[in-house]
Amino acid sequence: MEASGILYLVGTPIGNLEDMTFRAIATLKQVDLIAAEDTRHTGKLLHHFGIETPQTSYHEHNAHKRVPELVEKLQQGMAIALVTDAGMPAISDPGVELVQGCIAAGVRVVPIPVVTAGITALTASGFATQYFGFDGFLPTDKKERRDRLEILRSETRTMILYEAPHRLLRTLEDLAESLGKERRISVARELTKLHEEFWRGSIEEAIAYFTDHAPKGEFTLVLEGAKPSEKPVWTEEVIIKELQNLIDSGISRSDASRQLAELADLPRRQIYQLALTL
């Protein structure tokens, strides 16, 4: 195996160690250095497979410093493997910054693929798989989150999202408000692990279920795409929320009503009457 001046993106199991590939093990044994998101976590993986290659840390808090250091080592002829705690580096992961740095510097990048949560959840969702998209984690910033949900509302492809357990209910509630309570969803948790679970139904039913069953583990959400002719559901509740968001951003009630009337294709007078209640 050629192992000089190359960055290897090595996928690691998302839960079940038996998903580790022979190629991944061989690569990790032969490279000069492993850049790991969490060296303690990766250390356990390396020990399990008898890999003694030295590690260095690479994560979101030190990526700005590590990228030039690692690129320099690669240009000097070192072979480096980048790993994340689970799955493929650079997917919802700061590894993309190192990949970009290598490409800009002319360093070869070689992916060593593995099972990923998004594709695993998609295949068992029961939704269309010919056209799909990956949205990762929804933004936490209020405006960015609202803008992303607005795009998802009319997205006809099956969409994949990731979510942490403590944010699951909030995300489901936001999806219900923006996409409609009846939109179908598949919620997967603890994929490939002992307590793997798939829950399928409407978003409204998902909220009820996970209100009664405290969310535990990492979640992958698969949303059924909107029907091609499906229009946004402009309930009074949705209109008031959008008006409030516009007004909070500094827009006058009159301008907010005009913008929303055009977007929702509703009478401006009707929207303005609601704006006056805010």
Cα separation of 161 and 20, whole Å? 24
- Residue 229 covered by a domain: no
Residues 74 and 100 in one domain: yes
Q: Is the pLDDT of residue 249 over 90?
A: no
Q: Is the pLDDT of residue 62 over 50?
A: yes
Q: Is the pLDDT of residue 4 over 80?
A: no
**Residue environment code for 41-76, b if the CB has 16+ CB neighbours within 10 A, otherwise e:** ebeebbeeeebebebeebbeeebeebbeebbebbee
Last residue of a domain, one of 67, 91, 115: 115
- Residue 137 covered by a domain: yes
Residues 194 and 219 in one domain: yes
What is the predicted pLDDT for the residue at 231?
Answer: 64
Number of domains present in the structure of the chain: 3
Residues 210 and 194 in one domain: yes
- Residue 228 covered by a domain: no
96 contact partners, CB below 8 Å, separation of at least 6 = 90
What's the domain range around 123? 118-223
Q: Is the pLDDT of residue 251 over 90?
A: no
pLDDT tens-digit profile of 118-167?
Answer: 999 999 999 999 999 999 999 999 889 988 998 898 899 999 999 999 99
Cα separation of 20 and 2, whole Å? 21
Q: Is the pLDDT of residue 1 over 50?
A: no
168 contact partners, CB below 8 Å, separation of at least 6 = 187, 210, 215, 219
Residue 64: pLDDT band with limits 50, 70, 90: very high
Residues 215 and 143 in one domain: yes
Q: Evaluate whether 191 touches 116 at the Cβ level (below 8 Å).
A: no
Structure tokens at 265: 């294709």
> Please, what is the average pLDDT of the chain?
93
- Residue 98 covered by a domain: yes
Average pLDDT over residues 255-263: 88
CA distances for 196 relative to 152, 201, 253, angstroms: 27, 17, 48
What is the predicted pLDDT for the residue at 213?
Answer: 95
Residues 10 and 107 in one domain: yes
Residues 219 and 253 in one domain: no
Last residue of a domain, one of 65, 100, 115: 115
- Residue 231 covered by a domain: no
- CATH number of the domain that 190 lies in? 3.30.950.10
Question: Which has more pLDDT, 157 or 266?
Answer: 157
Cα separation of 272 and 278, whole Å? 10
- Residue 1 covered by a domain: no
Last residue of a domain, one of 53, 87, 115: 115
Structure tokens at 36: 């790991």
Q: By CB neighbour count within 10 A (0-12 exposed, 13-18 middle, 19+ buried), where does 144 fall?
A: exposed
Q: Is the pLDDT of residue 219 over 90?
A: yes
Average pLDDT over residues 173-187: 95
Q: Is the pLDDT of residue 2 over 60?
A: no
Residues 100 and 129 in one domain: no
